[in-house]
């Protein structure tokens, strides 16, 4: 029979203990419903005691894990309530001069203050004890343990708990169901207090920062939370500051103060943030109205502004524009398909960011290092303060590189150089705060909240204590008598075992010794996400075995455990693992492949694996700290990224030589040490030669035909050289002279060629290292407008020369396809486009054969491959349109334009040259091979390009043929607007076969997007590899001379690794098409 005792006065009590009395038989019927808000009954101080009053002793631990921790699990008043409810029970309190409540306050409440807690049945703390050496064993403890994710630093603690047969209940796992929403939430949560304290602290940080910039403001008059005796006093100080702002105003010349607050509208932290922020005179604005703040100066001095973006404001799908409808469910299911738009829509207008959003490696970052760098580089330095209350190191705010402390709450981050420059506030850069124990800055209110939550569960614990009638008997909490929320929070048992739901920690504990050894900050890391029946199938144990055997450390970044029972829904578990190694002999790619093989082999797990992060060691070469001079010839479309990368090294002097003085000056200024030289590179060879002699390496971004001439000067000057262009026949003719001079000339280190070589050779070498051979090779690449910018009939825009695009579309192509040799003449290349469906099907791409694929047979060592294909990607329909334009004569360089004045003249001239059709429509139809639909598309495209009618053609001095004015018009009409992004896509598919019969398909994909108005994807993917290669030439590649390509490990491994740090990341996966006999047996 179930008895619930509830007095009318108890319904009004906020300080009382709940109790539910029921028999053991009925308890199991009630499990899972106990802790809803409507199933807790309260006892006031006047209520009569129930029969069979239990006698239990509670112990309150002294907090010693962190010097700033002043909270207590129960306040003196709450202890008094407990003793009134259980008059035969006791409370023992370890003495502490650090606790927010005095020892005497507990004594007045009826507790006993003493060091020895051995008589206590249940011991309560906030944080984990620093040591159990002076604490009793074989007891029940409750505290935040931080062990459930397998944190390596706490596995020793967990082993100590098991050895001492301690029964641990972790607050973090006590989850109750919110009756109004049906959602689970933690019973003991401090988010509101973190939000309160973090916002109060942000005012003082902002005040100091503004004072550094010579603006005295009331913000400086609000001390940090920890200096207030209680929350109300802190709020009073904030109100006074607000009154001062409303009456006196902020400095007239100062920009408006705009607070950005994430995590709303329902997050606990956000609620705390708003509770403080709303005390000030303020105006909340919508995201789309942010620009208007800076257009209305009249009243902004007397208030501050706030914006509270929701998820729909922060994220957008990569394949949709910013105004598309946000699908929350799709975001969580397909987070890899989303990008943050915070840097473009919100950050440019903020003074302060208070961040409290949840983040892990599955989700896009809110604000990256590159994005804040781009923002500052553009001249927008409004964002002065970031208070990251979520405190995810390197997480949603990537430049939160470490946590801060209460006594030193801020470090100064310089976005331009990309690192912390001081542990105090400066007048430049971003003042970053990331205190991870903010609630303890309000210890009194936090403790009251803590105790109020515990008051709901302590009666349940009291009723479940076994052995209270005998001091020498076994004393513990009977799990069968606990409510479901408490039993699920039981980490360890009184027998010294892990509880059922936490058995997964056992193999982690056994492997922790390895984790503690890896401290090298340059260690290589990968992030794996696993989902499936990981634990009951045994898959997770075998995965951890792989890590141990390969000498890798691991850490659970996130873990949700579900065990499959009879008749239960097949809910899957998930794990997010960080795998690290500092052993140079360990290949993380092979480790990943082994895990993938296990996932495929253990069918009962029904599991999937994804790699979320690809970070490799950057220690493949040793940086040379000697001062070196880099000569950059040309200041064109990709030079910005070259100087951006090299110019941040204080040991590099950057010299930019160009015939465009303004451009050269602007590009050179991106570097710490720079100069620009205005010169005619083509005709002033003597001066070019002189610059080369004074340099340590030359990066030539000139047109490819000019490289051999520069190379000859490098040979004569014994200066190394780097280019992003194909190695030409003329360059190969210089090979012996290059070798004799002892210099290095490294070609083909851009995108294509460049990253295509490096990413492909990485996979090919890995296959060969495992004893396999390549059976097929296919590689495609394309520079395109991002989907939202592909808004014209050609679905194309130019991030490089239109003339180059046209020239490339007329090259002959040769490739091998399933053993058949295929040759396509340049005249018919555009007619041979085929749909590309191996990646990004939502983009609707097509592929054109690219030049001579067959010479890669020797370059890549593909002797056994039956398919060798390289292609160029375009959006579907581009090639057929361009083929008609070619047929019409727009690619013709032999037709002079002397007497041509309008586009009608152009069309008439081209028609006459092709035989003279009766009408222009007939002419277009014939060139479209009598395809009516295609001819309509051509006419629409011509009209969109403004290439019809009597409009006068604007001829430049260099325009002398039809193709010249065609390219000029293409560049004019198909240019990127400042707010538009370009996109680079690259994909490899490589077949592999092994001696045991295993057949695999290896896939590698790169999708990179430009940054609006700052740097294009093409600029990044061409310039960064070239710059990194130049740095390699200066810093490493010992013993190498001659004509080089980036196909060896000592070049491609460090280059790819550093490219990843710049956001150029290849996503790889392997599909096993046929399992080898040996591997299958091993997996079993």
Q: In angstroms, how far is the first alpha carbon of the chain from the final one?
A: 52
User: Among this protein's residues, is 752 annotated catalytic?
Assistant: yes
Spatial distance between the Cα atoms of 19 and 456, rounded to a whole number of angstroms:
8
How many beta carbons lie within 10 A of that of residue 706, not counting itself? 16
Spatial separation of the C-alpha atoms in residues 920 and 913, rounded to whole Å: 12
In 247-307, DSSP assigns E strands to 258-261, 282-284, 304-307
Long-range CB pairs of 1074-1081, under 8 A, 24+ apart, other chains included:
1074/997, 1074/998, 1074/999, 1075/600, 1075/601, 1075/997, 1075/998, 1076/994, 1076/996, 1076/997, 1076/998, 1077/996, 1077/997, 1078/996, 1079/597, 1079/601, 1079/996, 1079/998, 1080/601
Euclidean distance between CA atoms 207 and 204, whole angstroms: 5
166 vs 181: CA distance, rounded Å: 36
Distance CA 1042, CA 721 (A): 10
Name residue 573's beta-bridge partners. Answer: 532
Residue 647's CB is within 10 A of a number of other CB atoms, namely 24
Give, in degrees to the nearest 5, the angle at Cα 165 between 162 and 169: 80
Cis peptide upstream of residue 383 (ω within 30 degrees of 0):
no
Residue 783 dihedral angles phi and psi, to the nearest 5°: -100, 120
3 state SS of 354: strand
Question: From CA 887, how far away is CA 476, in angstroms rounded?
Answer: 88
7-38: burial string, b at 16+ Cβ within 10 Å, e else: beebeebebbbbbbebeeeebeeebeebbeee
Q: Note whether 593 and 617 are within 8 A (CB).
A: no
Four-residue CA torsion sign, 752, 754, 757, 762: negative
Q: How many CB atoms lie within 10 A of CB 727?
A: 20
Length of the chain as a residue count: 1084
Closest CA to 304 of 371, 251, 259, 239: 259
Residues with Cβ within 8 Å of 960's Cβ and at least 6 positions away in sequence, in order, are 896, 897
Q: Measured between alpha carbons, how far is 907 from 888 in angstroms, rounded to an integer? A: 9
Instruction: Calculate helix-pair angle for 588-601, 539-549, nearest 10 degrees.
Output: 160
| Of 78, 132, 87, the residue nearest 105 (C-alpha) | 78
3-state helix, strand, coil in the chain (%, to 5): 35, 20, 40
Say how far apart CA 924 and CA 933 lie, in whole Å. Answer: 11
Q: Which residue of the set 313, 752, 765, 1031 is catalytic?
A: 752
Residue 526 φ then ψ, to 5°: -135, 155
For residues 814 and 757, what is the distance between their CA atoms, to the nearest angstrom?
18
Judge contact between 648 and 1061, C-beta under 8 A: no
> Hey, CA dihedral for 48, 50, 53, 54, is it positive or negative?
negative
Q: Contact, 689 vs 668, CB < 8 A? A: no
Which active-site residues does the annotation give?
752
């Amino acid at each position: 029979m179930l008895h619930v005792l509830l007095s009318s006065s108890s319904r009004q009590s906020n300080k009382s203990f709940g109790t539910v009395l029921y028999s053991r038989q009925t308890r199991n019927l009630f499990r899972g419903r106990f802790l809803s808000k409507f199933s807790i009954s309260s006892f006031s101080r006047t209520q009569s005691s129930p029969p069979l009053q239990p006698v239990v002793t509670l112990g309150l631990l002294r907090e010693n894990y962190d010097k700033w921790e002043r909270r207590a699990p129960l306040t003196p008043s709450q202890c008094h309530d407990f003793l009134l409810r259980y008059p035969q029970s006791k409370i023992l309190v370890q003495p502490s001069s650090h606790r927010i409540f005095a020892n005497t306050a507990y004594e007045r409440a009826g507790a006993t203050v003493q060091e020895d807690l051995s008589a206590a049945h249940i011991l309560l703390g906030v944080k984990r004890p620093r040591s159990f050496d002076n604490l009793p064993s074989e007891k029940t403890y409750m505290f935040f343990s931080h062990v459930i994710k397998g944190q390596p630093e706490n596995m020793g603690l967990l082993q100590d708990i098991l050895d001492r047969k301690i029964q641990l209940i972790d607050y973090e796992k006590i989850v109750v169901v919110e009756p109004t929403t049906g959602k689970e939430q933690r019973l003991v949560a401090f988010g509101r207090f973190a939000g309160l304290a973090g916002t109060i602290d942000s005012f003082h940080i902002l005040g100091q920062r503004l004072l550094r910039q010579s603006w005295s403001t009331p913000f400086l008059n609000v001390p940090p939370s920890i200096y207030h005796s209680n929350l109300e006093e802190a709020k009073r100080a904030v109100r006074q500051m607000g009154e001062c702002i409303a009456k006196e105003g902020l400095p007239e010349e100062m920009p408006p103060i705009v607070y950005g607050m994430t995590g709303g509208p329902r997050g606990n932290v956000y609620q705390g943030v708003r509770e403080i922020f709303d005390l000030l005179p303020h105006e909340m604005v919508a995201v789309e109205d942010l620009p208007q703040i800076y257009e209305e100066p009249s009243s902004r001095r007397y208030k501050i502004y706030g914006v509270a973006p929701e998820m729909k404001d922060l994220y957008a799908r990569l394949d949709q524009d910013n105004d598309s409808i946000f699908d929350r469910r799709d975001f969580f299911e397909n987070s890899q398909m989303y990008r943050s738009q915070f840097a473009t829509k919100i950050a440019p207008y903020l003074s302060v960011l208070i961040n409290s959003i949840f983040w892990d490696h599955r989700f896009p970052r809110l604000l990256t290092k590159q994005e804040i760098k781009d923002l500052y580089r553009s001249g927008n330095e409004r964002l002065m303060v970031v208070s990251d209350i979520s405190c995810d190191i390197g997480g949603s705010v990537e430049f939160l590189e470490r946590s801060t402390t209460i006594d030193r709450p801020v470090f100064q981050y310089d976005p331009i150089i990309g690192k912390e420059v001081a542990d105090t506030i400066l007048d430049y850069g971003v003042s970053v705060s990331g205190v991870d124990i903010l609630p303890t800055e309000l210890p009194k209110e936090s403790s009251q909240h803590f105790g109020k939550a515990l008051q709901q569960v302590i009666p349940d614990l009291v009723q479940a204590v076994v052995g209270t009638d005998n001091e020498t008997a076994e004393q513990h909490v009977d799990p069968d008598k606990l409510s479901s929320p408490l039993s699920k929070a039981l980490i360890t048992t009184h027998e010294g075992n892990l509880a059922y739901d936490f058995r997964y920690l056992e193999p982690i504990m056994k492997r922790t010794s390895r984790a503690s050894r890896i401290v090298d900050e340059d260690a290589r890391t990968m992030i794996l996400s696993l989902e499936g029946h990981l634990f009951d199938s045994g898959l997770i144990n075998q995965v951890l075995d792989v890590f141990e055997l390969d000498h890798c450390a691991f850490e659970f970044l996130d873990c949700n455990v579900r065990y499959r029972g009879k008749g239960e829904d097949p809910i899957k578990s998930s794990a997010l693992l960080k795998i690290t190694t500092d052993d140079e002999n360990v290949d993380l790619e092979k480790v990943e492949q082994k895990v993938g093989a296990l996932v495929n082999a253990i069918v009962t797990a029904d599991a999937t694996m994804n790699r979320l992060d690809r970070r490799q060691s950057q220690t493949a070469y040793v940086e040379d700290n000697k001062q070196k001079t880099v000569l950059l010839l040309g200041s064109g479309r990709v030079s910005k990224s070259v100087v951006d990368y090299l110019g941040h090294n204080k040991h590099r002097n950057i010299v930019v030589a160009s015939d465009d003085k303004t451009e050269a000056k602007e590009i050179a200024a991106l570097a710490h040490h720079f100069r620009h030289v205005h010169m005619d590179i083509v005709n002033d060879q003597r001066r070019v030669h002189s610059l080369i002699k004074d340099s340590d390496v030359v990066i030539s971004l000139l047109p490819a035909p000019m490289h051999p001439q520069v190379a000859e000067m490098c040979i004569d000057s014994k200066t190394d050289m780097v280019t992003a262009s194909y190695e030409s026949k003329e360059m190969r003719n210089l090979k012996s002279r290059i070798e004799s001079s002892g210099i290095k000339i490294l070609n083909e280190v851009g995108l294509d060629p460049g990253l295509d070589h490096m990413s492909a050779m990485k996979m090919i070498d890995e296959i060969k290292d495992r004893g396999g051979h390549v059976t097929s090779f296919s590689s495609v690449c394309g520079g395109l407008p991002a989907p939202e910018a592909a808004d014209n009939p050609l679905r194309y825009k130019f991030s490089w020369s239109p003339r180059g695009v046209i020239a490339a579309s007329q090259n002959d192509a040769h490739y091998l396809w399933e053993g058949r040799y295929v040759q396509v003449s340049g005249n018919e290349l555009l007619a041979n486009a085929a749909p590309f469906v191996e990646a990004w099907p939502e983009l609707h791409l097509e592929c054109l054969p690219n030049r001579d694929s067959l010479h890669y047979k020797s370059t890549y060592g593909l002797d056994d491959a039956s398919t060798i294909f390289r292609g160029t990607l375009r959006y579907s329909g581009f090639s057929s349109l361009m083929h008609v334009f070619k047929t019409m004569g727009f690619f013709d360089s032999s037709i002079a334009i002397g007497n041509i004045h309008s586009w009608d003249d152009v069309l008439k001239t081209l028609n006459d040259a092709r035989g003279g059709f009766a009408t222009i429509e007939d002419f277009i139809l014939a060139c479209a091979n009598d395809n009516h639909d295609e001819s309509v598309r051509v006419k629409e495209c011509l009209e969109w390009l403004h290439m019809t009618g009597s409009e006068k053609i604007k001829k430049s001095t260099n325009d002398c043929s039809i193709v010249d004015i065609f390219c000029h018009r293409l560049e004019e009409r198909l240019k990127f607007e400042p707010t538009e992004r370009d996109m680079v896509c690259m994909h490899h598919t490589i077949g592999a076969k092994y001696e045991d019969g295993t057949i695999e398909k290896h896939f590698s994909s790169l999708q990179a997007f430009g940054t609006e108005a700052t740097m294009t994807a093409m600029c990044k993917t061409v310039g960064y590899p070239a710059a990194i290669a130049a740095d390699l030439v200066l810093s490493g590649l010992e013993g190498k001379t001659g004509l080089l390509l980036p196909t060896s490990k000592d070049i491609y491994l460090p280059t790819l690794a550093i490219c990843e740090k710049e956001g150029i990341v290849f996503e790889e996966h392997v599909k096993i098409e046929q399992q080898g006999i040996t591997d299958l047996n091993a997996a079993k």
